[in-house]
Chain A
Amino acid sequence: MATKKPDVPNIAELMEKVKSGKIFGEIAKEITESQIWTSTFRHGYADTPRNRVLQIASNVWLHLHPVKIHRHALRIKFTWCMGGITFLLFLSTVVTGVILMFYYRPVGEYAYFDMKYLQYDVPFGMLMRNMHRWAAHAMVITVWLHMFRVFLTGSYKPPREFNWVIGVFLVTFTLLLSFTGYLLPWDQLAMWAVTVGTNMARATPFLGHEGPFAEFVGVTPRYDARSVLLGGSLVGPPALLRFYVLHCIFIPLVAGALMIVHFWRIRKDGGISGPL
């Protein structure tokens, strides 16, 4: 009975394949036809109209876009790219912010020294902090410019009124994100900037202890609009913790949810605005 020989590759044949370069095509074929590859990538990369559509439609990140857009929407002159840049800067602050959270404790005794540790001992700590802060400041500017552009092109007009309202919420949340983060370094700049900012709350009509008509409500320095914000009657450790939680959890979640609505509504309201 003939025994089946094991399938030993012929060295000469193999060398021939390597020399002619055929082997690379064969390896590529093996890989791209494997179950792992075909289950991951649903379409080829050849530049065909079908692939161009699938590239957008079958990608969870890119399918935010429609597969086709009006030519005018490509013009930088029209959009200034500001909405996209704002979103990108937001993502940058999320990434750098999570890294900073590994090293920072929002506790009165530790916060400032964690900042020092982060800046002088943590590898790339200073860079992470810089990127976080500058991205946040840049985001404030780009979101204003985005709003300015949307106004100038009249893109808030029907049917996009509601998305403009969402956008105003997002501008507000951008400022609040930046403001709550301003306290976290727990240095003089932070404490007094937030003191100045939150002092306004005590002048809230009816609800702030120095505001008009407060005497009819009976609020006190320890129990008014400002103390709810600060967890006390001055910017102290409870305020630091409150601002930290607002900064890292509450506002990003709300702003993130609103961003989803904002982006979704762009498409539902007929895509990026343009001359009709």
Chain B
Amino acid sequence: MSSRRRSDGVTAYILLSPYLFIFLTFTLFAIGYTVYLSFTRYNLLRPPQWWGLEGWRRVLHNDLFIHKALPNTFKYVAIVVPVQTVLSLILAFAMDQKLRFRRLFRTIYYLPSITSSVVISLIFIWLFSPIGVVNQLLGLSINWLNDVRTAFYTIMLLNIYTTTGTLMLIFLAGLQEIPRELYEAAAIDGANRLQTFWYVTIPLLRPVIYFVVTVGVIGTFQVFDQIFVMTAGGPLDSTTTVAYVIYKWAFRDTSIKMGQAAVASIILTVIILIVTLLQRRVIEGSGSVAS
């Protein structure tokens, strides 16, 4: 039996070897090296020089990072996540009503999600250009992506447009798993539809809501493609996000700052982990109040 177990161990590591190679190289080592780089000054031309906390100090005093990228990113998450979550829940609820043409609707809703972020961005650049479709339809002449007041909201709109269909599918799968008997029981107890929705559907959907919000939070904190293609952080840094700053410092600026980009990426990771844990507590915590 023990030789069987040993041979299982060997087989397991053979089967896992591609994963372990990639994990150790591109995840574990990479995270460690990013932490190391955050304490160095590195411009690719010369080897990294130990810099202690100087890189951290500079990032935390960097105007672009502290006054633009961080607040912009939080604002982005705070607007996009609630809107797309509520919208997708409403759509999923409507889809769950056993109406006709459900399959057709489902296909249509998923279309924006299968289109690549670059293509959708290119489309939105044109839709929201000064002579674009949106202005033509609304009879306006706003330069959406070049105006500090509208650029960031236009990108948020794009994000909501692309993700809502995907999130709707997740909610729909969750709704369909709720046993019908529970609804019948609620009806016998004299609950009206709103009460049923509030006291039966929502609590039972809590794990799915947590999941959808988590996926949303992780995704929106990393927003990059759309910003890169549509505005490159402008106008006047009004659409610069943390992920964009990281790319800019590490790969785009004329004087490359790998160390400080590493600092920013660690800060982003810590923020995502904290927010994900906090919202788990909030969503699960609200359950104990209701029950």
- Co-assembled chains A and B: no
